[in-house]
Structure 1
Amino acid sequence: MRTALAPLLAGATLLCGCASLAPAACPAGQSPGRTAQLFFGRDIGDQVGVSDADFARFVDEELTPRFPDGLTILDAAGQWRSKAGPIIREPSKVVILALPGRTGGEDRLEAVRAAYKARFSQEAVMIVTQPVCLGF
């Protein structure tokens, strides 16, 4: 009987963990939303190929038209491993977007990621999204 309950308990634990990610109700003055964080590597090959001016142009031409309400850009030092490759360390940019509502905007986020990969010969642009309560 113990072995039959183990998978059920494990599943219930996972569901409880997921349920805690979304706030049940937002505090007064805030409403449900999401944040999206996009991580843009700046190396092309073995050198920094995406200059600050290149990235600023990308923001003006790709990000701002899709997310005109605002965004935050941070400089970062990134590290990742491509498929079966060595660890790669590179200067990066992190863009944080606040998105009202629990859904929507996925097509615009994917368009930005695709544009960056195509423009700067990048293998990937990482994205992290999470539910939040937003207030302005």
Structure 2
Amino acid sequence: MIRLGFLGALAGLLAGCTTLPPLACGPGQEAMLTAELLFGRKIGERLGVSEATFRHFIGEEVTPRFPDGLTVLDASGQYRDSSGRLIREPSKLLLIVLKDEPEGRARLAAIAEAYKSRFQQQSVGTILRPACISF
């Protein structure tokens, strides 16, 4: 699991963040946020979150909170544990486009907390970026 200190702190503060400065988007684009959530799949030293289990988590925890759409990518993560050992693990990267509103940020934080609780994870990395979006 990605356990970088700044990512953990970011996830903890996510729901309380203020909005980002507005973007000057081009014609046909809307200023929104892109969220990237980083999910490690190991529990201890073994792969503990299977493909099927992760799909079930998406269906139960993510889709109800963001029914308009999302993207899930396979990834490989790494981090240093508290002893300084480099840990590598299979991961998932979840991409979501959302309006920059407190409710959306709270839904992201709830997803991260649900994953940590359900799969005994220390953290879920969360990255927010302003973006000009068109579909």
**In which range does the TM-score fall when normalised by the shorter chain?**
0.7 to 0.9
Q: In the alignment, which residue of structure 2 is the partner of 1:131? A: 130
Return the alpha-carbon distance in structure 1 between the equivalents of residues 94 and 57 of structure 2: 12
Number of matched residues? 115
Q: Is the 8 A contact 2:73 2:93 kept in 1?
A: yes
Return the alpha-carbon distance in structure 1 between the equivalents of residues 37 and 107 of structure 2: 12
SS at match of 1:76: strand
State the shift of 1:82 in Å. Answer: 3.2
SS at match of 1:89: strand
Question: TM-score when scaled to structure 1?
Answer: 0.79
Question: TM-score when scaled to structure 2?
Answer: 0.80
SS at match of 2:63: helix
Q: Percent identity?
A: 51
User: Comparing both chains, which one has the higher relative contact order based on Cα–Cα distances under 8 Å and sequence gaps of 6 or more?
Assistant: 2
Pair 1:90-2:82 in alignment = no
More helix by share: 1
Q: Let me know the Cα RMSD of the aligned residues.
A: 1.5
Structure 1 segment 47-86 matched on structure 2, within 5 A: 47-86=46-85
Structure 2: 5+ residue runs without aligned partners? 1-19
Structure exhibiting the larger radius of gyration computed from Cα positions: 1
State the shift of 1:23 in Å. Answer: 6.4
Return the alpha-carbon distance in structure 1 between the equivalents of residues 126 and 67 of structure 2: 19
Q: In the alignment, which residue of structure 2 is the partner of 1:103? A: 101
